[in-house]
Chains A and B, each alone.
Chain A
Amino acid sequence: MSRHQISVSIDRLRGKRADAGPTRRMPGDDRSCPKCESHFRADEMERNCFVCAVCGYHFPMTARQRLDHLSGGTGWEEIGGELRAADPLRFVDLQPYTDRVHAAEAKGATEAIIAASLEIEGQPCVVAAMDFAFLGGSMGSVVGERFARAAEVAVAKNVPMISITSSGGARMQEGVLALMQMAKSIVALDELAQARLPFLMVLAHPTTGGVWASFASLGDVTYAEPGALIAFSGPRVIEQTTREKLPSDFGLAERQYDHGHVDSVVDRRDLPRRLAHVMMILEQPPGDEEPSLASQLAQNGTERAARMAQALPSLTRRFRGQTDSASSERVSGS
Chain B
Amino acid sequence: MSVSTHPSGRGGRFVRRIAGKIAGAEVVSGDVWDAIQLARHQDRPYPLDYIARLMPDFEEIHGDRAAGDDPAIVAGIGRYHGAPLAVIGQQKGRDAQDRAYRNFGMPSPEGYRKGMRLMELCDRLHIPLVTLIDTPGAFPGAEAEEHGQGGAIARSMMMMLRLSVPTVAVVIGEGSSGGALALGVADRVVMLENATYSVISPEGASAILWRDAAKAKLAAAAFKPIAANCYRWGIADAVVPEPEGGAHTSHDEAARFLDGYLSRTIRELQAIPRAERNRQRHERFRRLGAQREV
Real binding pair: yes
Give the complex CA separation of A216 and B289 in angstroms: 19
B287 to chain A minimum Cβ distance, whole angstroms, is 8
Contact B140 A177 (CB under 8 A): no
Kindly state whether residue A107 has any CB partner on chain B within 8 Å: no
B147 to chain A minimum Cβ distance, whole angstroms, is 8
B114 to chain A minimum Cβ distance, whole angstroms, is 17
Give the complex CA separation of A232 and B179 in angstroms: 10
Query: Quick one: which of B217-275 are within 8 Å of A by CB?
Result: 218-219, 222-225, 230, 233, 235
Give the complex CA separation of A170 and B289 in angstroms: 12
Kindly state whether residue B162 has any CB partner on chain A within 8 Å: yes
Give the complex CA separation of A81 and B211 in angstroms: 33
Kindly state whether residue A174 has any CB partner on chain B within 8 Å: yes
Give the complex CA separation of A214 and B292 in angstroms: 24
Q: A176-B225, A180-B285, A213-B154 are in contact. Are A142 and B235 (CB under 8 A)?
A: no
Q: A179-B199, A218-B155 are in contact. Are A231 and B225 (CB under 8 A)?
A: no
Q: A213-B178, A218-B155 are in contact. Are A176 and B210 (CB under 8 A)?
A: no
Contact A187 B161 (CB under 8 A): yes
Please, what's the 1-or-0 string for A206-235, where 1 marks a CB less than 8 Å from any CB in chain B? 000110111111100000000000111100
Contact A175 B223 (CB under 8 A): yes
Contact B233 A176 (CB under 8 A): yes
Residues of A within 8 A of B285 (CB): 180, 183-184, 186-187
How many Cβ-Cβ contacts under 8 Å join chain A to chain B?
A: 185
Residues of A within 8 A of B158 (CB): 186, 189-190, 218
Interface residues of B toward A: which range?
35 or more
Residues of A within 8 A of B145 (CB): 231-233, 238, 250-251
Residues of B within 8 A of A93 (CB): 205, 209-210, 218-219, 222
Question: Which of these, B154, B161, B282, contacts A217 with CB under 8 Å?
Answer: B154
Contact A214 B291 (CB under 8 A): no
Give the complex CA separation of A188 and B185 in angstroms: 13
Give the complex CA separation of A97 and B12 in angstroms: 39
Contact A217 B155 (CB under 8 A): yes
Interface-lining segment among A62-70, A240-248, A288-296: A240-248
Q: A89-B222, A189-B158 are in contact. Are A179 and B210 (CB under 8 A)?
A: no
Kindly state whether residue A266 has any CB partner on chain B within 8 Å: no
Kindly state whether residue A83 has any CB partner on chain B within 8 Å: yes
Kindly state whether residue B198 has any CB partner on chain A within 8 Å: yes
Kindly state whether residue A103 has any CB partner on chain B within 8 Å: no
Contact B162 A177 (CB under 8 A): no
Kindly state whether residue A15 has any CB partner on chain B within 8 Å: no
Residues of A within 8 A of B197 (CB): 176, 179
Contact B150 A212 (CB under 8 A): yes
Contact A184 B288 (CB under 8 A): yes
Q: Which of B149, B151, B199, B211 has the most CB of A within 10 A?
A: B199
Residues of A within 8 A of B15 (CB): none
Query: Quick one: which of A129-164 are within 8 Å of B by CB?
Result: 141-142, 144-145, 148
Question: Which of these, B151, B178, B200, B211, contacts A182 with CB under 8 Å?
Answer: B178
Kindly state whether residue B276 has any CB partner on chain A within 8 Å: no
Kindly state whether residue A306 has any CB partner on chain B within 8 Å: no
Kindly state whether residue A10 has any CB partner on chain B within 8 Å: no
Contact A187 B282 (CB under 8 A): yes
Residues of B within 8 A of A182 (CB): 154, 157, 178, 181
Please, what's the 1-or-0 string for B25-58, where 1 marks a CB less than 8 Å from any CB in chain A? 0000000000000000000000000000000000
Give the complex CA separation of A86 and B198 in angstroms: 18
Residues of A within 8 A of B182 (CB): 213
Q: A94-B210, A187-B282, A232-B140 are in contact. Are A176 and B150 (CB under 8 A)?
A: no
Kindly state whether residue A104 has any CB partner on chain B within 8 Å: no
* Residue of chain B at shortest CB distance from A215: B154
Kindly state whether residue A237 has any CB partner on chain B within 8 Å: yes
Contact A214 B140 (CB under 8 A): no
Kindly state whether residue B95 has any CB partner on chain A within 8 Å: no
Kindly state whether residue A317 has any CB partner on chain B within 8 Å: no
Please, what's the 1-or-0 string for A72-104, where 1 marks a CB less than 8 Å from any CB in chain B? 000000000011111011011110000000000
Residues of B within 8 A of A261 (CB): 148, 150-151
Contact A84 B294 (CB under 8 A): yes
Kindly state whether residue A259 has any CB partner on chain B within 8 Å: yes
Residues of A within 8 A of B289 (CB): 141-142, 144-145, 177, 180-181, 184
Kindly state whether residue A172 has any CB partner on chain B within 8 Å: yes
Query: Quick one: which of B127-176 are within 8 Å of A by CB?
Result: 138, 140-142, 144-146, 148-151, 153-155, 157-158, 161-162
Residues of A within 8 A of B148 (CB): 217, 259-261
Q: A92-B222, A175-B225 are in contact. Are A232 and B178 (CB under 8 A)?
A: yes
Q: Chain B: residues with CB nearer than 8 A to chain A?
A: 138, 140-142, 144-146, 148-151, 153-155, 157-158, 161-162, 177-178, 181-182, 184-185, 197-200, 205, 208-211, 218-219, 222-225, 230, 233, 235, 282, 285-286, 288-294
Instruction: Give 5 CB contacts A-B under 8 Å.
Output: A85-B292, A89-B222, A179-B198, A180-B235, A187-B286
Q: A93-B205, A180-B235 are in contact. List 6 more A-B contacts (CB 8 A).
A: A181-B289, A183-B161, A183-B184, A187-B286, A214-B154, A233-B141
